[in-house]
Amino acid sequence: MTAGRTEKPVHLAVYDTLADWESGHATAHLARGGYGIRTVALDAGRAVTTIGGVRIQPDLALDDLRPEDSSLLILTGADLWDAGDDLAPFARKARAFLGAGVPVAAICGATAGLAREGLLDDRAHTSAVPMYLDATGYKGGEHYVDADAVTDGGLITAGPTEPVAFAREVLGGLGVFEGELLDAWYRLFHDSDVTAYEALQGAQE
């Protein structure tokens, strides 16, 4: 993908206790690849505070987000996913996105939110460990894959220790990097492979 190319924005869900580190690789390289990043919250008029203490003023309210206006919805982990139903509206929005054929990427606690919504019952997926999702009472255990990140159609899932693999699936899915270039990007950021940097530079010249 060429930087500067006009694409529908990617929407990053934001809420209190959001896990800062889980989306950074994905959003940074999506932005460099021509995708605008817009933050979406339950209430666009109220700033949220991440688990790292960073305050974010949302761009958009969740109720105003339409799948047809987006390239992707990203849901990161947060303590709130396991503390009640406050974030359930984001899982319901994910259902609307997938139903409209617009991809969703969920990592860490957000996978549990999707499990509670029934979105993992018939899709290949991963998370932190199988027992974490089993505790939600979902019916998709047979579709659990022990992998760093999993893509099944329009749904990407990953566990909390795999932000780079999560980004790999996101960037590949939206065509920011593909093939050998995507592999080199992953080796650079996941494995600190300096030869991968040379491959990236050569491919982008």
- Pick left, alpha or beta for residue 84 (phi over 0 → left; psi -120 to 50 → alpha; otherwise beta): left
Whether 108 sits among the annotated catalytic residues: the reply is yes
List of long-range contacts for 98-101, beta carbons under 8 Å, 24+ apart: 98/153, 98/154, 98/155, 99/67, 100/67, 100/68, 101/67, 101/154
End-to-end CA separation in angstroms for the chain: 13
Options 48, 108, 149, 167, the catalytic residue: 108
Give one DSSP letter per residue of 146-170, joined into a string.
-SSEEEETTEEEE-TT-HHHHHHHH
Asked if 111 and 133 count as a contact pair (C-beta separation under 8 A), the reply is: yes
Q: Report which DSSP code applies to 141.
A: G
Asked if 16 and 46 count as a contact pair (C-beta separation under 8 A), the reply is: no
Q: Annotated active-site positions, please? A: 108
